[in-house]
Amino acid sequence: MAVVVPNEGEALVRGLIERSSELKGELVAFAQSPRFDRWLTPLLLEAAGPDRELEDGEAIRIIDHFILRYRLPDGSTVVDRFVAGRRDLTEADRAMLLGWRDPVEGVFEVRRKDGDAVVLLNLVDDLEYRTCSNVGRAAFRGVSKGDFLLACLVPVHSADGVWLISGAMSSYPKSSATEIARAALQLATSHPELVFRNPEKIEQGWQSMREDRAAFVEFCGSDELVLPPAEAEDRLNAYYRHRQEAATAEHPDRPRGRRLPGLDFPAFELPRELAGSETVGVLYDDVDGLNFYADYGMLRDLFANPALVSRKQYQDVLRAYLREESIAPLPIRRLAAAHPDTVDAVFRKLLRKPGFTWSEHGEELLRRRKPWYYAQEPRPGVSVIGARLGELAAGGRRPKLTRARRAPHRTGHP
């Protein structure tokens, strides 16, 4: 087990390292006890595949994720249950263990060695971590400046800036920079919350999203499109090509044939579950970002003509928009605002509540149906990569601009 440590408080840190190691060992044994078989075993079997073969490192990662992140049926984690069942733990022990529920996942570059420590740059959140091991320098034998580590860190309570590497750690030589950059970009775009551990990246993300949304509106003529799926794909691909060409024009001195990282989008394809819809709504909101919604045309027609609510297919669409967790309040809010004269009639007929008014009851309805949306702080729909990751993605050349990559689109499908 390795740790991120500051130079001060060496004796205290060493004691915390030893105690952390003891607690982690007990926690792993607890997680592998029969009481958790019904949840852990299926995860391991799924990862092993039909051949039932699973490398030790991958098994360790799955178990570690199960311990720290997996939500049991009551919403608790294995860590929560371990702490609740151990009355012998000190307050410091409890605080340390509960802090592990918020790990830092990333791809790290070895910046330099410093005594028993190595200084690591997380290519995902663009923050540095000073890292040591409870076995001393031996933990990093064979690791050199410029090499890469794939790891997960958890904090150590009572020691400011101290972290533990939790689970398996994989190392890669500096010659693998291209593959490492690709993996870090994928992690940043598929899990933007990892990027936003860095407060600077949150504001940069909002700024990049504002710029991208403005470009989208200028190109498409609106922040809302309602098109058949094939036409929606064509329009989005045309927009992405336009953005790529604009970025290329801003850098006429770049090597020919070299594409700019962060703006080089592959051919866009709608998720399969949307391909069969008559229409797809493409909404680029200034807070919720770029989203796609199935059968949005039917929903729009319903709010324009509330008499349609008597037809089952229209009822089903609106009920699905209210029910599905994959659908944020955005489309209903937008249509309610666009049709203030008819929104009350739509919901009165659907809910069979003659006294319903959107102005008085609409927000309460959305909060009741979609509590998950209101439980989280809004985050930009664009992930902004750091300068070093941009440099690696560009093949070692330092990019002149900060590059942005789009986070996953929310997809609504009734």
What region, left, alpha or beta, does residue 58 occupy, with left being phi > 0 and alpha being psi -120 to 50 degrees?
A: alpha
What's the pLDDT tens digit per position in 10-23? 777 778 878 888 99
Q: What pLDDT is attached to residue 59?
A: 93
Closest by alpha carbon to 110, among 90, 76, 84, 140?
A: 140
Q: What pLDDT is attached to residue 195?
A: 92
Query: Would you say 385 and 404 are in contact if contact means Cβ atoms under 8 Å apart?
Result: yes
> Which amino acid type is present at position 414?
P
Q: For residue 131, what is the enclosing H or E element? A: strand 127-133
Q: For residue 60, what is the enclosing H or E element? A: helix 56-68
| Euclidean distance between CA atoms 168 and 152, whole angstroms | 8
What's the pLDDT tens digit per position in 182-203? 999 988 888 888 999 999 999 9
Q: What pLDDT is attached to residue 410?
A: 46
Q: Give pTM, 2 decimals.
A: 0.75
Q: What pLDDT is attached to residue 136?
A: 65
Q: For residue 302, what is the enclosing H or E element? A: helix 296-304
Burial class (CB in 10 A: 0-12, 13-18, 19+), 279: buried
What's the pLDDT tens digit per position in 156-170? 776 667 777 788 888
What's the pLDDT tens digit per position in 251-263? 655 554 444 444 4
Q: Does 366 score more than 80 pLDDT?
A: yes
Range with the lowest mean pLDDT among 32-41, 245-254, 279-288, 289-298? 245-254
Domain ranges of the chain: 2-172, 199-374
Report how far apart, in Å, the C-alpha atoms of 217 and of each of 72, 159, 262, 263, 303 are: 43, 48, 20, 18, 24
- CA–centroid distance for 49 within its chain: 25
Closest by alpha carbon to 390, among 243, 206, 185?
A: 185
Closest by alpha carbon to 153, among 201, 81, 99, 217?
A: 99
Q: What is the mean pLDDT of residues 320-347?
A: 96
What's the pLDDT tens digit per position in 113-165? 877 778 899 999 999 887 777 666 777 788 899 999 998 888 877 666 777 77
CA atoms within 13 A on the CB side of 360: 6
Q: What is the mean pLDDT of residues 225-243?
A: 93
Q: What pLDDT is attached to residue 263?
A: 41
| Helix and strand element counts for the chain (H, E) | 17, 13
